[in-house]
Amino acid sequence: MNNQPGLMARALRLLAQREHSRLELQTKLAEYASTPEVLVNFLDSLEQRNLLSDERVVEQILHSRRKRYGSRRIASELQEKGIAEHVITAALQDLKVTEFSSAQVIWSKKFGVAPANHTERGKQERYLAGRGFSFDVIRQVLADAEKTRYQD
């Protein structure tokens, strides 16, 4: 228990920079704890004092990523950070509402013109898929773009 102050200082320094998930903090502090049990108890105490919160991590990631990436990419990032599946599912319900408009904005900034042939369409689909958008959303964005092209 003699390294508790050292753990606290390191944890607070990391948490002051940005929100960390429990898994991230556990990984970063593991080498400084005397035993794994000490680290688990320390992380539990941080959660009890509301200094460590996976929900805040989710909020921060959603806020910073929702305008650039789709739900699949964001969900993957949250899973890598060790966020519980039920927390991810709840957070993505909110994201699904705005996913189409985000995809449209990203598509129009990058391309702005409906694909003229299958090669261009494939390129646009791969770009949006790489950003983490579902194929339903991609199909909807490109269909909307083609509809707009034929109306002009």
| 29: in domain | yes
- The number of domains in the chain is 1
Which long-range contacts (C-beta less than 8 Å, at least 24 apart) are formed by 7-10?
A: 7/32, 7/33, 7/38, 7/39, 7/42, 8/42
13-60 residue pLDDT tens? 999 999 999 999 999 999 999 899 999 999 999 999 999 999 999 999
| 4: in domain | yes
| 135: in domain | no
Whether the pLDDT of residue 2 is over 50: the answer is: no
Q: What percent of the chain has pLDDT over 90?
A: 82
85-101 residue pLDDT tens? 999 999 888 888 889 99
Whether the pLDDT of residue 136 is over 50: the answer is: yes
In terms of C-beta density within 10 A (0-12 exposed, 13-18 middle, 19 or more buried), how is residue 9 classed? exposed
- Give residue 6's pLDDT: 86
| 81: in domain | no
| 23: in domain | yes
Whether the pLDDT of residue 104 is over 50: the answer is: yes
| 116: in domain | no
- Give residue 142's pLDDT: 95
| 26: in domain | yes
| 6: in domain | yes
* DSSP states along 55-112: HHHHHHHHHHHTTTS-HHHHHHHHHHTT--HHHHHHHHHHHHHHHHHHHHHHHHHHT-
